Structures are given as C-alpha cells and as structure tokens.
Amino acid sequence: MKIPEKVNNYSPDNFQCNTLKNFTNDSTAWIDLILSKTALIFASIIILAAVYHLTAEIQQADKQRQLDAMAQDFRSAIDSVGQSHYGMASANISYFFDTYDRSGRFTDQLNASVSGEYAGISYEEDDKLIYAVKPLAYKTLPYNESEIRNELLDHFSASGNRTQPIMPPFTYSNVTDLLTSLATKEKNLNTSTKVHIVKSLIYVVNNSEVRELEYILVYQ
C-alpha cells in the first residue's frame, strides 16, 4: 500500500485564505445562527435586567411619593399655623403622623425630623435610606415654649413675653441671631405620638416701639 505523501503546505496566508473561503462557501449559516442567537440572548438579558430595575425603581419611587405626601402634609400643618393670626385656635394645633396602613408599611422604621428651615421624613429599608425633605415657609423652632423662654431669659434677662419684653441694649437682630442659631439643630420626632405646633410671639422693644417676632414652635 502506498502511503500518501504528507504535504505540508501550511502557511499563514493559506490558512487565512482557506478560512475565509470556508466562511464564504459555507451555506449552512451556522455562524450567522450562532451570532444571532448570542445577540438575542444578550439583548434578552439586557432587557430583562432593565425591566427588573425599572420595576424596582418604580417601587422605590412609589415609596418616595408616599414619603413626599407625608412630608408635605406635615409641612402644610406647620405653615397653616404660621399663616394664622396669633391667638386664634388655628395657631395651636396637634398633629398626628398618618403612618399606619393595613399592610403595615411605614410603621416603626419611619423617622421624622424638624429644624428651623425644613421638615423631613425618612424611611430605612434594606440598608437603603429614602427621605423626603420640605422647606418651611415660616421660621420654626424645634423647642417648646418654656425652653425658648428660658433661653431668652438666660441671654437677654427677659423672657420676651408681652409682660416682659426684651429691652435695649438688646435689639431684635440679637434675638433673631440667637433663635436662628438655636433653629439649626435638627430634632427627631416620634411618629407614633402627637406633635404640638404652636405659634409664639417674642416681644422686643426697639426704638421705643414694641416689635413682635413670630416663630412656630414644634415639639412633643
């Protein structure tokens, strides 16, 4: 038997040429099929991941909306007290957070806070913090009436009541500076107990005239 002579005709050019010919002459369309199926799989994975993320984002946005609505409600309550005239019933209200629903969401994990400039509500779930913050229209202090009067008494030797107004050399700007510095402190509120929102007036004698400084007090 004659052993066929092994012809070593390998060269890079030949190989490339043969591969190219193989591809061009291949009428079974396997490469096309594999490429298109791979593209299909990748596209499906990307679309499924996008849909999954979109759903998760919508759920988070829904919770964000709920928190926004609650923060807005709280802000409106504080602003309504600010708008009302001092001494009227609407200038002193008790506010309850609407944190309970039948599905049990937003119960224990809900945190509310208030400072001189904003009211905020936050919710922590799976180490992710969702929060809603609303700026307040009126100057607000997270203290009760006696705390504020004591602070004024300590600094200006007068409580700022109608009967005991703050007298010169202290001016109303001294009082507003002190209260602004006090208002920067954020106070956390317990969402399961009621919040008192009260309008308070601080009287300051300035150039022989008595000026009224209006503040909203938010405390529990």
Q: Work out how close the CB of 29 gets to other proteins at its nearest, in angstroms, rounded to a whole number.
A: 4
CA-CA distance, 73 to 98, in Å (whole number)?
9
Choose, by CB under 8 A, the member of 16, 19, 20, 32 that binds other proteins: 32
Q: Phi and psi at residue 94, in whole multiples of 5°? A: -110, 130
Segment interacting with other proteins, rule: CB under 8 A, options 9-17, 33-41, 142-150, 154-162: 33-41
Which positions ≥6 away from 71 have C-beta within 8 Å?
119, 120, 121, 132, 133, 134
Cβ–Cβ under 8 Å, residues 183 and 140:
yes
**Euclidean distance between the first and final Cα of the chain, in Å?**
107
- Residue 27 engages other proteins in binding (rule: CB under 8 A): yes
How near is the Cβ of 5 to other proteins at its closest, in Å? 38
Site for other proteins in 165-184 (CB under 8 A): 172-173, 176, 180
Q: Which of 17/50 has CB closer to other proteins?
A: 50
Distance CA 184, CA 220 (A): 18
Q: Return phi, psi of residue 6, to 5°.
A: -80, 120
Q: Which of 74, 79, 195, 217 binds other proteins (CB under 8 A)?
A: 79
Residue 105 is a binding residue for other proteins (CB under 8 A): no
**Is residue 136 within the footprint of other proteins (CB under 8 A)?**
yes
63, 82, 187, 198: which one contacts other proteins (CB under 8 A)?
82
Binding status of residue 206 toward other proteins by CB under 8 A: yes
Contact 41, 53 (CB under 8 A): no
Chain CA centroid to CA 215, Å: 25
Q: Give the binding site for other proteins (CB under 8 A).
A: 27-29, 32-33, 35-37, 39-40, 43, 47, 50-51, 54, 61, 68, 72, 76, 79-80, 82-83, 116-118, 133, 135-140, 172-173, 176, 180, 206-207, 211, 213-215
